Chains A and B, each alone.
Chain A
Amino acid sequence: MVETLVTEPYSDPRQQHDAAMMGMYIFLGNEVMLFGGLFAVALYTRLVHTKEAVAASRALHYGIGGTNTAILLTSSLCIALAVEAGRQGERKLAIRWLIGAIVLGLGFLSLKGYEYLEEFQEGLMPFTGFDTAIKTPVQHLYMDLYLIATGLHALHMVIGVGLLAYLVIGLSKRWIVVPERAITLIVVGLYWHFVDAVWVFLYPVLYLAR
């Protein structure tokens, strides 16, 4: 790895690279704890109120969710390719793959927004003050969980898209030099892969409870 920009307090590039990777992994561990609470509640609901949870899950649009899963997985592929391009010093190729991931990420968010709208019109949203199609208190809790979990995930997606945009601009204007600062792409790529992984667990837990 050719890394010429060793900054204080590091004394060698390997050490700096390892520190950046470790920092990102610890941050992702922290993010696991963030989503972990929500998964714990989902697990509890599924175990204690199985029938109502399954019924609530059936009301969700698993087709839309499934499409979104495919979109997100493809975007992760784009990211992996962008990171590899960065490592090889292929600046323009990295930019193209990053833009691809941004487009797919925005596609995910648009589809999610459309899905929320559908659910709102069907009366599935747990907001007070509106006519509701929610049948049982467990379904209400389930929709709360769905909204918060997917909303939190979407927020992470928005931040992710922002980070990717920063990378694209940085690479275009050569603030970020590859392959010397490929670590920046690797670290952001890790974040994107994590957000993808969260969705890969969220989707079956929420949509496919049977």
Chain B
Amino acid sequence: MTDFAEAHRPSNLSQTGLSETETERVSYLRAGHSLSSWLFTTDHKRIAILYLISITFFFFVGGAAAALIRLDLLTPKADLLTNEGYNRAFTIHGVIMVWFFLIPSIPNTFGNFLVPLMIGARDLAFPRLNLLSWYIFMLAGLFTLFVLIAGGVDTGWTFYTPLSSMFAHANVVLAATAVFIAGFSSILTGINFIVTTHKLRCPGMTWGRLPLFVWSIYATSLVLVLATPVLSITLVLIAAERLFGLGIFNPALGGDPLLYQHLFWFYSHPAVYIMVLPALGVVSELVAAAAHKPIFGYQFVAGSSLAIAVIGFFVWGHHMFVAGQSMYASAVFSFLSLLVAVPSGIKVYNWTATLYKGHISLDPPFLFAMAFIGLFVVGGLTGLILAMLAVDVHVHDTYFVVAHFHYIMVGGTVSAFFGALHFWWPKMIGRKYSLVWGRLSAIFIFLGFNLTFFPQFLLGYWGMPRRYHVYAPQFQVLHVFSSTGASVLAVAYLVPFLYLFYSMRYGEPAGDNPWPAIGLEWTTPSPPPKHNFAKIPVVSGPPYDYHVEIEGKDG
């Protein structure tokens, strides 16, 4: 398998780093050099790269807001930002990170790149819609940047009424429009993946042989398509209220502020599953590849993605336990919120069982997968704590909640994103990177993350509310720990850019299957040619068909 790379490596590669292999010469990256060949591409792999660049950009913008927040929180007084400035900082941090980083991150980069390859197709079902969804995403992003330049918005990413509909001064309609536009990108993405999975599987690729990443993208797409329109209508209602004074959420006119919360969370809770389901799919792939073993309980793991997607639609009221909803509603939502944790638990236990009697390699992707599992488990268990009514009444709207969701979204999704990047980078770019640096990144991201967010659980239980930048002095010690952790995390997130960019020029050519791992994407050259496969593959065996010992020799 490595002979191919050996045969095609020019002798002067390590000296100048400028030559390209034969494979690279015919890859999708070289199929057209002009700007328009990129901006008008319908190749899912190029669109994935376009998304990768844009979401990375937005990650930095959202991260800059986070940096301001953590710096300001070093002291109990308003030393860095004004009250209004801080409010705008956490609002833009939330808006950008949720809609312009987390939601598109894995589906639109790795989903776009890998789904056709994994199912043996040449592209997604609607290549032009795929490009359109990127343009819509960029338009929405530009709107948001415009909002930022125009002074930002200060309602929190949750836009609660009547604060946002009647009292907030700035840019609410503009921000709502930006998010509304971004919603269309989500919907088109979801439609594309669903139809692709149904219609473009290669011969022999039955549903029971799909890689678990594809299952997770499919489940995510169901949520994208069904939940996003509820957000769209909610944003329209806010804009209508602000522009025409309609009074739907205005109690003085008979409206109901809680109606907004129901509508908003009906979308936003499934939205967090949009953010985490793809990450769970990535981890399944990373664990199988690291252990050289099929994922234990494939059917349960595949089914759990669908179960999370479905049950996730029925738990939104757990954001409203103290909002003034009835005790009975709260009891039902609390119960269902416990139920939704069961499929997540299945995944984690199955991954552990996969490692049993495996052939485990401690490469960066696996370290990122372990980081994910450690952090996701903490996040998930604290979610269970939050689902308990009596506890939630105390810690709702405190830093406990902030810590919980950052453990899942940052500790979870971002770690999985980096894990995916480190696993499929050789496939996407065709070069290997330094494994030592990769492992160090995983370790420092894990440590920096815990230092940043674990103290916040304590802050929350001790009573520090969220969205506060002026706080009681006894909370300062924990905030200093948290901000210190944030600076470690920031550096740890930046370092991969260095060695990954370096590898683009100076890395060793990867060959088709550098790890090696089992999956259709690993049967194509690295980077793949524009049409993915010379001949559409025919699948005849189970997924993750690693050699499993029945008896006899070990190793």
Listed in ascending order, the chain A residues whose CB lies under 8 Å from chain B are: 8-11, 15, 18-19, 22-23, 26-27, 29-31, 33-38, 41, 126-129, 136-138, 140-141, 144-145, 147-148, 152
Bound state CA distance, A208 and B259, in angstroms?
25
A91 to chain B, nearest CB (A): 24
A18 to chain B, nearest CB (A): 6
Contact between A33 and B245, CB atoms less than 8 A apart: no
Contact between B126 and A23, CB atoms less than 8 A apart: yes
Contact between B199 and A19, CB atoms less than 8 A apart: yes
| Interface size classification for chain B | 35 or more
Residues of chain B with a CB closer than 8 A to A33's CB: 225-227, 229-230
Bound state CA distance, A172 and B259, in angstroms?
48
Say which residue of B124, B191, B200, B253 sits within 8 Å of A137 (CB atoms): B253
Contact between B195 and A129, CB atoms less than 8 A apart: no
B463 at the interface (CB under 8 A from A): no
Q: Which one, B14-22, B236-244, B299-307, is touching chain A?
A: B236-244
Which residue of chain B has its CB nearest to the CB of A44?
A: B259
Contact between A148 and B236, CB atoms less than 8 A apart: yes
Contact between B225 and A30, CB atoms less than 8 A apart: yes
Contact between B229 and A31, CB atoms less than 8 A apart: yes
Known: A8-B122, A23-B126. A127 touches B225 (CB 8 A): no
Bound state CA distance, A160 and B122, in angstroms?
32
Say which residue of A19, A37, A126, A138 sits within 8 Å of B230 (CB atoms): A37
Contact between B236 and A140, CB atoms less than 8 A apart: no
Say which residue of B194, B230, B536 sits within 8 Å of A26 (CB atoms): B194
Which residue of chain A has its CB nearest to the CB of B240?
A: A148
Which residue of chain A has its CB nearest to the CB of B124?
A: A9
Contact between A141 and B194, CB atoms less than 8 A apart: no
Contact between A127 and B246, CB atoms less than 8 A apart: yes
Contact between A37 and B233, CB atoms less than 8 A apart: yes
| Max chain B C-beta neighbours (<10 A), residue from A30, A31, A128 | A30
Contact between B125 and A19, CB atoms less than 8 A apart: yes
Contact between B191 and A126, CB atoms less than 8 A apart: no
Contact between B254 and A137, CB atoms less than 8 A apart: yes
Interface positions of B from 182 to 205, Cβ below 8 Å from A: 187, 190-192, 194-195, 198-200
B367 to chain A, nearest CB (A): 35
Bound state CA distance, A35 and B233, in angstroms?
8
Contact between B195 and A9, CB atoms less than 8 A apart: no
Say which residue of B116, B232, B237, B245 sits within 8 Å of A128 (CB atoms): B245
B441 to chain A, nearest CB (A): 35
Bound state CA distance, A10 and B201, in angstroms?
11
Known: A128-B247, A129-B245. A9 touches B191 (CB 8 A): no
B263 at the interface (CB under 8 A from A): yes
Residues of chain A with a CB closer than 8 A to B116's CB: 9
B255 at the interface (CB under 8 A from A): yes
Residues of chain B with a CB closer than 8 A to A127's CB: 244-246
Say which residue of A9, A29, A34, A126 sits within 8 Å of B232 (CB atoms): A34
